[in-house]
Amino acid sequence: MIHSRSKTIINQTQSLFYQCINYIQFQHKHTFSPKKNRPKTRTTKPRRNQQPPHRDAAIAKPRKDPIPFVTDLKEIRDPDDALSLFHEYHQMGSKHDYPSYASLIYKLARARDFDAVETVLGYILDYNIRCKEIIFMALMQHYGKAGLVDKAIEVFHRMTSFDCVRTLQSLNTLLNVLVENDRLDDAKKMFDGSNKMGFRLNSITFNILIKGWLVRREWDEACRLFDEMLERRVQPSVVTYNSLIGFLCRNGDVEKAKTLLEDMIKKGKYPNAVTYALLMEGLCLQGEYDEAKKMMFDMAYRGCKPKLVNFGVLMSDLGKRGKIEEVKSILSEMKKRRYKPDVVTYNIFINYLCKEGRVAEAYKVFIEMQVGGCEANAATYRMMVDGFCRVEDFEGGLKILSAMLTSQHCPRLETFCCLISGLLKCGKIDDACFVLEEMEKRKMRFDLKAWEALVRDACVEDDERAYGLVDELICAL
């Protein structure tokens, strides 16, 4: 437990930390102005022996000029600057149309600045801008990811007030948001009331609800819904069967899953690579790795070519058992067969290398994948930062974090906390403050408990050092 004096220090200085950070950001805030010179469209002559484009085709598909506001908006990271840029263009007499509003809403929603999103939606109503359905679907998804499920429901009901026709796609989007946020009862109510709203349900609708019941381990309810599909003459898709097969395999009933596979084939629904990957995963869970590997080679005889996901199942099972060299062999075998590993495949390898403490090797793979043209994603960067922190190479973690932020990806709060704690232990006050500033830019903040843990870990319950650390942090900010 941290000493009471340290708790008081943290409690009193927490707000001061962020006031300092906000002050720095205010001092260094960039102002964005619209570009004055737009690039000229360059015309090129057709090469020798090359036919010029058909005149009718050129008339049918005129090239659209880029929208200056949208072009400038792409360069902005701070959502406050995005809204300011919108007003600047408006004050200069630029008339914003749907693409401008849509781009701004996407930008603000990704940054989770939902108050600003509501402001922009108000402008859309005021100026009677007709919107496409896809923007509201995206907004529901962003609200769902932020855990603001009621706001997603509200968006669904408000769509018609924006002169936007609601289709089944919108309902399916909302149902998925509800299921993903464990609001299955609400999803069922929407599902049951779909006829009154004039929707004719499809296999996607049923698949979403079946997934929800399976997440709750309600096998009987999922089967009841499957039967209802057949009664309504909605044809189950491969995804439907994959959901059921996956559940059975994860719960150790591979034989029943195989029976369902045969039934699926009889009904004219042919399994895909994911179907076999789920069965392979079930076999691996039962310790039958060799049987899983055999299934991957046998699936080709059934007319289904193995894909990266099948190799990934084998790599994951080997990685869990610490057989890193065999994982490396699978990767080599893929390349020999002219399979180009994707980011998911590399992530499996990097993840288990980091878990085994072989971070230097993981870093080599990290570089190798990018040199080979495979771009790292947020998960890749996160695993690398966490891996460096695990072996207490916090400077290495900071380098990866900087690359991650440059690539416009963002780590989890736990990763930030671990890295800052490590940097403070190493006496890297400036680096710790840099990470704090990057957190503030992304509106990510520690709660009091996290601050307590941070100072406790850095000071090892040394009150005198706690005072000094707080002073250093404030001076550095």
Output the six-digit token pair for 99: 């693409």
Query: In this predicted model, what pLDDT tens digit does every residue of 89-118 receive, in sequence order?
Result: 888 888 888 999 999 999 999 989 999 999
Q: What is the pLDDT of residues 214-273, one digit of tens each?
A: 999 999 999 999 999 999 999 999 999 999 999 999 999 999 999 999 999 998 889 999
Tell me what the pLDDT averaged over the chain comes to: 83
Spatial distance between the Cα atoms of 190 and 321, rounded to a whole number of angstroms: 44
Give the sign of the dihedral formed by CA 197, CA 203, CA 206, CA 208.
negative
Query: Does residue 446 sit within a domain?
Result: yes
Residue 75 lies in a domain: no
Q: How far apart are CA 206 and CA 208, in angstroms?
A: 5
Tokens of 108: 């603000």
Asked whether residue 370 is domain-assigned, the answer is no
365-392 residue pLDDT tens: 999 999 999 999 999 999 999 999 999 9
Q: Does 437 map to a domain?
A: yes
Using a pLDDT cut of 70, give the percent of the chain over it. 81
Q: Is residue 243 part of a domain?
A: no
Residue 434 burial class via C-beta count within 10 angstroms: exposed 0-12, middle 13-18, buried 19 and up: middle
Can you give the pLDDT at residue 429? Answer: 84
Give the model confidence (pLDDT) of 388-417 as tens digits: 999 999 999 999 999 998 888 888 888 888
Look at 170 and 71; give whichever has higher pLDDT. 170
Residue 461 lies in a domain: yes
Q: Write out the residue range of the structural domain in which residue 443 sits.
A: 414-477
Q: Which pLDDT tens digit goes with each residue over 120-144? A: 999 999 999 999 999 999 999 999 9
What per-residue confidence (pLDDT) applies to 43?
40
What pTM was computed for the model? 0.74
How far is 323 from 316, CA to CA, in rounded Å? 10
60 pLDDT above the threshold of 60: no
CA–CA separation, 274 vs 249, rounded Å? 13
- Max alpha carbon distance in the chain (Å)? 83
Q: What is the pLDDT of residue 458?
A: 62
Q: How confident is the model at residue 459 (pLDDT cuts 50, 70, 90)?
A: low
- Count of domains forming the chain: 1
Does 151 score more than 70 pLDDT? yes
Question: Domain for residue 23, yes or no?
Answer: no
198-223 mean pLDDT: 95
Q: Which of 167, 324, 155, 100 lies closest to 332 in space, CA to CA?
A: 324
Any domain includes 425: yes
Average pLDDT over residues 287-313: 92
Contact 140, 152 (CB under 8 A): yes
pLDDT of 44: 41
pLDDT at 74 over 90: no
Structural Rg of the chain based on CA atoms:
27
> pLDDT at residue 49 above 50?
no
Tens of pLDDT, residue by residue over 345-361, are: 999 999 999 999 999 99
Q: Give residue 38's pLDDT.
A: 39
Decide: 387 and 354 in contact? Cβ < 8 Å.
yes
Assess contact for 429 and 476: CB atoms under 8 A.
yes
User: What is the predicted pLDDT for the residue at 472?
Assistant: 53
- Cα(32)–Cα(4) distance, rounded to whole angstroms? 46
Convert the chain into a string of H (helix), E (strand) and C (coil): CCCHHHHHHHHHHHHHHHHHHHHHHHHHCCCCCCCCCCCCCCCCCCCCCCCCCCHHHHHHCCCCCCCHHHHHHCCCCCHHHHHHHHHHHHHCCCCCCHHHHHHHHHHHHHCCCHHHHHHHHHHHHHCCCCCCHHHHHHHHHHHHHCCCHHHHHHHHHHHHHHCCCCCHHHHHHHHHHHHHCCCHHHHHHHHHCCCCCCCCCCHHHHHHHHHHHHHCCCHHHHHHHHHHHHHCCCCCCHHHHHHHHHHHHHCCCHHHHHHHHHHHHHCCCCCCHHHHHHHHHHHHHCCCHHHHHHHHHHHHHHCCCCCHHHHHHHHHHHHHCCCHHHHHHHHHHHHHCCCCCCHHHHHHHHHHHHHCCCHHHHHHHHHHHHHCCCCCCHHHHHHHHHHHHHCCCHHHHHHHHHHHHHCCCCCCHHHHHHHHHHHHHCCCHHHHHHHHHHHHHCCCCCCHHHHHHHHHHHHCCCHHHHHHHHHHHHHHC
Q: How far apart are CA 153 and CA 158, in angstroms?
A: 9
Looking at residue 53, what is its pLDDT? 47
Amino acid at site 63: R
Q: What is the pLDDT of residues 3-23, one digit of tens each?
A: 443 343 344 334 434 433 343
Predicted confidence (pLDDT) at residue 39 exceeds the cutoff of 80: no
Question: At which residue do the structure tokens 């020798």 appear?
Answer: 48
pLDDT of 173 reads: 97
Asked if 416 and 433 count as a contact pair (C-beta separation under 8 A), the reply is no
Q: Distance of alpha carbon 340 from its chain centroid, rounded? A: 23
- Flag whether pLDDT at 30 surpasses 50: no
